[in-house]
Amino acid sequence: MKKTDQIEKESGAMIMPENNRIPKKVKTVHLIAVCGTAMGALACMLKDMGYQVTGSDNNIYPPMSRFLEDKGVSIMAGFDGSHLSYRPDLVVVGNAVPRENAEVVATAEMALCYCSMPQAVNHFVAAGKRQLLVAGTHGKTTTSAILAWILYSAGREPSFIIGGILPNFMSNYRTGTGDCIVIEADEYDTAFFDKGPKFLHYTPEAAILTSVEFDHADIYRDVDHVRDAFGRFVAKISPDSLLVSVDDDPNVTGLAGLVSCKQLPYGMKTDSPWQLGATDIQPPATRFQVIKNGQDYGSFQTRMIGAHNLKNTLAAIAVADYIGVTPEKIGDALASFSGVRRRQEIRGEKRGVIVMDDFAHHPTAVRETLRAVRSHFSRNRIIAVFEPRTNSSMRRVFQQEYATVFDPADRICVRKPSMLQKVPEGERFSSERLVADLKQRGKDAAHFENTESIIDDLARSSLGGDVILIMSNGGFDNIHERLLDAL
């Protein structure tokens, strides 16, 4: 039986490919796994557009549950085929939903039309708009957020869907009336019935490519496999569209050299059309010069910290300029940009100790985040608290590399991964070994079995002036608030 004919579920139910479509007339939509960041944003956008929206999930808790309920999205606890008894016109299946999910089985048995999240975004939200995509292993969320805020501040009324909360909007999405939409374009797989990357579903007028490195070890075999996925992405960019690509990543420059679309490299190289000039760090702000085609474009100010965020900002400036935003309006927007939640976000200060939250988990992100924090807190003791939690960081693929990226920190606290049992024993990351390797490099490092022991240690040992940088892609057992209470 050919895969193109049908996809057989482990339960014995079938989903026929002809039902993997969006019907011409849609009034009701159900989302399976609605409480995910992107799925929740899609549910709200569909509601804003006048559709009747329901959703289900196993993990229903604030703030997402309250956010959806306030929007009028009806949420049902757990996954049950009865949730589809009203026969929605369309079922949107989240990318983490397995084929044996009870509602997937019911979708097949009832022959309901279904699609993936990016299919729905492309059809309902992005259709007819100028799609501005941001792709790359690192920096997608921040770069997307900066670009969206520039467009909004310039009066362009953009739509956007981004993987982080923007304090300027208190949201990760917006349904705007303007002709542009900013989309954080993810390389993760689309759904169980579509293992291709999500970003292949979009048609960009302009795309930013920030970086290409090995990540998502549960999806990709190696860096060549990752590079192939991004190669398919840039190959889809039409000759009339634009690729804005970083100039110091050999994987990116190699891919950019294979495509025929319009291109604008950016970064530090003097021959790049968009170049960072002189920078002046005066906490809490950084002033920086931008050079376009060898000429001074303007001087700007941002509260974002670190060289990597200056490059992210430069990429957003290049796209904003391309679609007609003036340097003056760009400058006004950057000066008022409030960052992104969980990206070097200061969660609080107690006893003179600053507690900062960051999403960093890949070795490159950890290194660049620590460098950024060190540049703005040059006289403070930096304590790095790291939770390996992603499918890649819990595997030993980055074991040796992690030992080299914590140098800007004065002390490092490493938590044992809480979900290590999900990784085959022979492939597991060792936090004990990381600490031993760090000590060999002369670093003050310690291993902790659980979050409680980290909080107890830091509450006793932290001094006024310390900056505690907590890095994890998850909630980390609410360590931020608990630590502030303990302090």
Q: What is the pLDDT, as a whole number, of residue 19?
A: 87
**Could you tell me the pLDDT band of residue 122, with boundaries at 50, 70 and 90?**
very high
Residue 9 predicted with pLDDT over 50: no
**Could you tell me the pLDDT band of residue 470, with boundaries at 50, 70 and 90?**
very high
**Could you tell me the pLDDT band of residue 237, with boundaries at 50, 70 and 90?**
very high
**CATH architecture classification, 126-336:** 3-Layer(aba) Sandwich (3.40)
Q: Model pTM?
A: 0.86
**Could you tell me the pLDDT band of residue 6, with boundaries at 50, 70 and 90?**
very low
**Which residues lie closer than 8 Å to 475 by C-beta, 6 or more apart?**
none
User: Cα separations (Å) of 292 from 260, 271, 284, 434, 484?
Assistant: 22, 10, 26, 43, 44
Mean pLDDT, to the nearest integer, of 245-269?
95
**Could you tell me the pLDDT band of residue 2, with boundaries at 50, 70 and 90?**
very low
pLDDT tens digit sequence for 183-192: 999 999 999 9
Q: What three-state secondary structure class fits 321?
A: helix
Q: How far apart are CA 293 and CA 238, in angstroms?
A: 23
User: Cα separations (Å) of 463 from 207, 383, 487?
Assistant: 45, 11, 10
State the fold for domain 345-486.
Answer: Protein-Tyrosine Phosphatase; Chain A (3.90.190)
Mean pLDDT, to the nearest integer, of 69-87?
94
DSSP state of 19: G
The string of DSSP codes covering 403-465 is: TTS-TT-SEEEEEPPTTGGGS-GGGB--HHHHHHHHHHTT-EEEEESSHHHHHHHHHHH--TT
Q: What is the pLDDT, as a whole number, of residue 294?
A: 95
Q: Which two tokens stand for residue 93?
A: 């299946």
**CATH architecture classification, 7-117:** 3-Layer(aba) Sandwich (3.40)
Q: Which two tokens stand for residue 77?
A: 């606890």
Mean pLDDT, to the nearest integer, of 52-63?
84
Q: What is the pLDDT, as a whole number, of residue 245?
A: 97
Q: What three-state secondary structure class fits 20?
A: coil
Q: How far apart are CA 120 and CA 477, in angstroms?
A: 33
Across the chain, what does the average pLDDT equal? 91
pLDDT tens digit sequence for 405-423: 999 999 999 999 888 888 8
Residue 326 predicted with pLDDT over 80: yes
Q: In this structure, are residues 100 and 41 in contact, taking their beta carbons and an 8 Å threshold? A: no
Q: What is the pLDDT, as a whole number, of residue 62?
A: 64
Question: Which residues on neighbouring strands pair with residue 267, listed in sequence order?
Answer: 275
Q: What is the pLDDT, as a whole number, of residue 24?
A: 93
Q: Which two tokens stand for residue 46?
A: 């569909």
**Which residues lie closer than 8 Å to 115 by C-beta, 6 or more apart?**
20, 21, 22, 90, 91, 92, 93, 123
**Could you tell me the pLDDT band of residue 474, with boundaries at 50, 70 and 90?**
confident
Instruction: State what percent of residues in the chain have pLDDT above 90.
Output: 72
Q: Name the residue ranges covered by the structural domains of the chain.
A: 7-117, 126-336, 345-486
Terminal C-alpha separation, the chain: 62
Among the ranges given (116-120, 325-329, 469-473), the one the predictor scored with the smallest mean pLDDT: 469-473
**Could you tell me the pLDDT band of residue 296, with boundaries at 50, 70 and 90?**
very high
Mean pLDDT, to the nearest integer, of 462-481?
90
Q: What three-state secondary structure class fits 127?
A: coil
CA angle 393, 394, 396 (to 5 degrees): 80
Among the ranges given (9-23, 129-143, 173-187, 450-464), the one the predictor scored with the smallest mean pLDDT: 9-23
Q: What is the pLDDT, as a whole number, of residue 477?
A: 83
Q: Which two tokens stand for residue 206?
A: 């302009």
Element (H, E) at 382: strand 382-386
Residue 287 predicted with pLDDT over 50: yes
Q: How far apart are CA 106 and CA 134, in angstroms?
A: 35
Regarding predicted confidence, which is higher, 28 or 416?
28
Question: Which residues on neighbouring strands pair with residue 181, listed in sequence order?
Answer: 131, 159
Residue 14 predicted with pLDDT over 60: no
pLDDT tens digit sequence for 166-210: 888 988 999 999 999 999 999 999 999 999 999 999 999 999 999
Q: In this structure, are residues 210 and 312 in contact, taking their beta carbons and an 8 Å threshold? A: yes
Q: Which of 483, 482, 409, 400 is nearest to 444 (CA)?
A: 409
Half-sphere exposure in the Cβ direction for 1 (13 Å, CA): 6
Q: What is the pLDDT, as a whole number, of residue 283?
A: 83
Could you give the dihedral angle defined by the CA atoms of residues 184, 187, 192 and 196, in that order, rounded to the nearest 10 degrees?
120
Q: Which of 227, 228, 252, 236 is nearest to 201 (CA)?
A: 236
Among the ranges given (195-199, 303-307, 449-453), the one the predictor scored with the smallest mean pLDDT: 303-307
Q: What is the pLDDT, as a whole number, of residue 12?
A: 37
Half-sphere exposure in the Cβ direction for 427 (13 Å, CA): 13
**Could you tell me the pLDDT band of residue 314, with boundaries at 50, 70 and 90?**
very high
**Could you tell me the pLDDT band of residue 376, with boundaries at 50, 70 and 90?**
confident
Phi-psi region of 63 (alpha: psi -120 to 50; beta: other; left: phi over 0): alpha
